C-alpha cells in the first residue's frame, strides 16, 4: 500500500519514525513527578530486585495530574547508579519540581540539587505500586504493550526506539485527531538528524534508502 520494496525498508522506516518521536527541545515535566526503575524483557529465574543478566533496565518518570497521570519520560540505563539516574532527572524534570522516589541511594544527590525530593520507603507487605502508583501504572502499561508488540521478546539494542514510541503514544493518548498526530510526527521527522540503516543495525553493511 505504501509502495515499500522490501521488509528491510519497511522495518528501517519504522525505526526512523520511532527515533523521530522524540521532539527536540521538548518541555520538561514539572510539578510533582514520580520516578522509579524497572526491567523489561523475559522473566529470569533466580533474579530479584536490581539484579539481572539479559533484561533492559529503564528509568521512568510520570507526572502527577490530580489522581491521574500527566506526561511521561523513559530511558534505558546501564545501571541504577546516581551517575545514570541524575542525568535523566535533570534532562526530564524542570528545576523546582517535587521528585517522588523510593529510598534507593541512587537518588541521594537530588538532595543537593534544585529539586524537592519526596521519599516513600517500602515497609511491611506493601507492594511498590502502592508507593509510586502512577509510575508503576505506566511501567505496567509499557510491559503489556511490549508483550503485545513483541510477545515479550524485547531486543535490547532497540529498547530505546520502543520507549520512544510508547512515550509518544502515551503523551498523546487523549488527542482527538489521529491525523494531526501523524502530521506532528512528520514535522518532527524533518527536525531530527536522519538515521541510516547502518546506524540502526550496526552489523548491517548497506544503507536504507
Domain boundaries, the chain: 27-43+52-200
pLDDT of residue 204: 35
Q: pLDDT averaged over the chain?
A: 81
**pLDDT for residue 187 is more than 80:** no
**pLDDT for residue 22 is more than 50:** yes
Instruction: State the alpha helices, DSSP H only, in the chain.
Output: 7-20, 82-92, 128-131, 133-150, 159-171, 178-191, 197-200
Burial class (CB in 10 A: 0-12, 13-18, 19+), 37: buried
Range with lowest mean pLDDT among 110-124, 159-173, 182-196: 182-196
Segment of 12-21, 29-38, 52-61 carrying the highest mean pLDDT: 29-38
**pLDDT for residue 130 is more than 90:** no
**pLDDT for residue 203 is more than 60:** no
pLDDT of residue 121: 84
Confidence label for 77 from pLDDT (cuts 50, 70 and 90): very high
Count CA atoms within 13 Å of residue 133 on its CB side: 8
| CA dist., res. 4 & res. 181, Å (int) | 22
pLDDT of residue 147: 86
User: Of all residues in the chain, what percent carry a pLDDT higher than 70?
Assistant: 68
Give mean pLDDT, residues 156-184.
81
The model's pTM: 0.78
State pLDDT tens for residues 55-65: 899 999 999 99
pLDDT of residue 55: 85
Choosing among 3.30.420.10, 1.20.950.20, 3.40.50.300, 3.40.640.10, the CATH entry for 27-43+52-200 is 3.30.420.10
Sheet with 98-101, side-by-side order of all strands: 68-76, 56-65, 32-40, 98-101, 116-119
Give mean pLDDT, residues 175-198.
71
Confidence label for 167 from pLDDT (cuts 50, 70 and 90): very high
Amino acid at each position: 500500500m505504501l509502495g515499500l520494496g522490501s521488509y528491510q525498508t519497511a522495518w528501517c522506516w519504522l525505526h526512523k519514525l520511532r527515533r523521530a518521536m522524540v521532539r527536540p527541545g521538548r518541555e520538561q515535566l514539572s510539578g510533582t513527578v514520580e520516578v522509579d526503575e524497572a526491567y523489561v524483557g523475559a522473566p529470569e529465574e533466580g533474579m530479584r530486585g536490581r539484579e539481572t543478566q539479559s533484561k533492559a533496565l529503564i528509568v521512568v518518570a510520570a507526572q502527577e495530574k490530580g489522581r491521574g497521570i500527566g506526561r511521561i519520560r523513559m530511558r534505558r540505563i546501564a545501571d541504577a547508579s546516581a551517575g545514570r539516574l541524575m542525568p535523566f532527572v535533570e534532562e526530564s524534570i524542570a528545576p523546582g519540581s517535587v521528585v517522588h522516589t523510593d529510598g534507593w541511594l541512587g537518588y541521594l544527590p537530588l538532595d543537593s540539587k534544585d529539586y524537592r525530593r519526596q521519599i516513600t520507603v517500602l515497609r511491611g507487605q506493601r507492594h511498590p505500586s502502592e508507593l509510586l502508583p502512577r509510575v508503576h501504572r505506566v511501567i505496567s502499561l509499557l510491559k503489556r504493550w511490549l508483550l503485545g508488540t513483541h510477545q515479550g521478546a524485547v531486543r535490547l539494542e532497540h529498547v530505546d526506539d520502543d520507549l520512544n514510541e510508547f512515550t509518544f503514544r502515551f503523551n498523546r493518548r487523549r488527542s482527538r485527531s489521529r491525523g494531526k498526530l501523524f502530521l506532528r510526527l512528520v514535522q518532527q521527522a524533518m527536525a531530527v538528524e536522519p538515521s541510516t540503516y547502518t546506524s540502526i543495525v550496526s552489523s548491517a553493511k548497506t544503507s536504507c534508502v
